[in-house]
Amino acid sequence: MRITTGYVLVVALALGLVMTLFSVRDQLDVAADLFTWADQQTTDRPLSSYQPITVTYQKERLELYDGLRRNDLTPSALPPKIEQTFIAIEDRRFYQHDGYDITGILRAFTENQTGDSKGQGGSTITQQLARMTYLSTEKTYTRKIKEILISISLEQKYSKKELLTAYVNQAYFANNIYGIELAATSYLGKHAKDLNWAEVSYLAAIPNNPSLYDPLRFPKNTSKRQQRILKALEQTRDISSKSRKQPVQVTFRKPLIRYSDYIDASVSEAIRHTASVQNISSSEAKQYLHQHGAVIETYLDPAEQTRAKQAIQKLPSPIEGAYVGIDGRSRGVTALVGNKSTLPGQLNRAVQSYRQPGSTLKPLLVYGPYLEKTKKTLTSRLDGSPVCFDGYCPQNSSNRILGRVTIADAIAYSYNTPALRAFAVSFNEGLKTIRPFRFSQWTDEDNSYNSALGGLKYGVSPLELTNAYTTFVNDGLYSPSSMIRTITTDQGTLYRHSLQTDRIWSSRTNQLLRKGLHNVMTYGTGRLGYDTRPAYIGGKTGTTNDNKDMWFVGMKDQHVGGIWLGADLPRAFPVEANSTLQVKTWAEILR
């Protein structure tokens, strides 16, 4: 019995040993995979390669990181005071550890066992940099492990000075401010190299908790933490206790991105082009542009952009607006305004909002194809009496009953019933003609009579509609517009805007349409925007049911400007629509 029991124990121990060995081997494999993963992360996205995207217009240059301004310091230019301050308060053993501090981790682990949250404290500067650059902010042990592994990899690839510089460049200082240099100029009106100990410690207080230590909202909190930092500096550095009494004068200078509507949209366009050229996702394209120091050369005209922004901002509440200006020769977008705000990252109605275009669609979908097919002239007449097609029975403005009217008057006064009769004649041609414009939200449901008067399911964006109108200033030829002239990287030219023309209709038809759109300005619905100075002026108004959307797209010589006014939650604006506020606003912009 004892012998049997002994054999059983020996076998059990042997099996246990084998299983332990297999388990250890598996764990070692997992560990090796994790270290390989961490190394791959830091290899694919080197710290030194995450450069600004530079947007240029005329002679101006703007450097952006992830859509926000950030003026980076170089390791050689990192001021000693900044280096010493952040080490004193964030990571005293920064120059001794290899990316993680086991003492800090054990302390944080102990605290977490008595609290309700995970992943609190214990992070070295390298770990914080790893989190900011490669990971999310979720507070889990899994993320903490990944953070440590990436930190080890970073320490193997970069010097301590490079890591610390990257950290102070990426740290968030509240109020859309990233990096110590921009924080110094924004809050204190100084460059980082010119800060004294009190000022450095004041700014160093913010990243620990930007909401709690926001110097604009909670200056007492900021000052309280500043004193803790100065006390820590007294213990680790030879600084005078007088520093704790030096006043810090905060005079906030908001780090504005001028022309943020246009800049946001142009960067988004650059990301789309990059994704297409490189056959990668949008997030990968954005990263690619940063890694390769992309320079985006735009068509932006600051003067037109400024006038457009001011005009949109002057609109009465609750009316919002969007404006797009395009140079008809180059098809370059010269101005783009999508909201009243001056902050980046806002809803950009010029490119992100789609609304029914009303009668502004008639020249494109109805009258162009009709004149092309029938060879009629502007003096030819259309029946304007009440009409229905497939149950669609539109009325004219003020329920006006018409007889036979000239095509010229039908365009100038934006009559609905003759337009529907014309569309019935050239229905198929109209749907074919509209395709090259690539209205992104056009659906099969829009292949109907409702579309003759702009009653689309989702609608068009101001950029799309203005883009289509460039056909009228180019002899009936259409080519997609762009905000971007070129995108260049350290690899060379990634994208260059070129004209890829489609003939939409003949020169004869285009001349007739131009004359019809000129009539709109001289005696029709756009007469309040008439200007005698340009050699040519033309345009088309559009309003939707109950005057919820107000559109106008106009041309002065080779320049095209399109405007939309309305509200995000559609509501009626009868007074403004009847006074053609959109036309007057357009005229103010292109004065």
Tens of pLDDT, residue by residue over 298-312, are 999 999 999 999 999
CB 255 within 8 A of CB 177: yes
Please report which confidence band the pLDDT of residue 257 belongs to, taking 50, 70 and 90 as the band edges: confident
Q: What's the pLDDT score for residue 120? A: 40
| Mean pLDDT estimate for the chain | 90
Q: What's the pLDDT score for residue 4? A: 53
Q: What's the pLDDT score for residue 101? A: 82
Convert the pLDDT of each residue in 32-72 to its tens digit: 677 888 888 888 777 766 678 999 999 899 888 777 777 88
Q: Is 464 a catalytic residue?
A: no
Residue 115 in this model has a pLDDT that exceeds 50: no
- 123, 151, 186, 359: the active-site residue: 359
Q: Is 330 a catalytic residue?
A: no
Convert the pLDDT of each residue in 329-371 to its tens digit: 999 999 999 999 988 889 999 999 999 999 999 999 999 999 9
User: 140 vs 109, 112, 145, 258, 393, CA distance in Å?
Assistant: 12, 11, 9, 39, 62
CB 348 within 8 A of CB 338: yes
Residue 118 in this model has a pLDDT that exceeds 90: no
- 90, 147, 155, 320: the active-site residue: 90
Q: Which of 540, 528, 565, 525 is nearest to 315 (CA)?
A: 565
Q: Which of 296, 370, 558, 337 is nearest to 463 (CA)?
A: 337
Residue 378 in this model has a pLDDT that exceeds 50: yes
| Helix H or strand E encompassing 491 | none
Name the packing angle between helices 80-90 and 197-204 (round to 10°).
Answer: 50
CB 420 within 8 A of CB 486: no
First to last CA, the chain: 108
Residue 113 in this model has a pLDDT that exceeds 70: no
Q: What's the pLDDT score for residue 259? A: 95
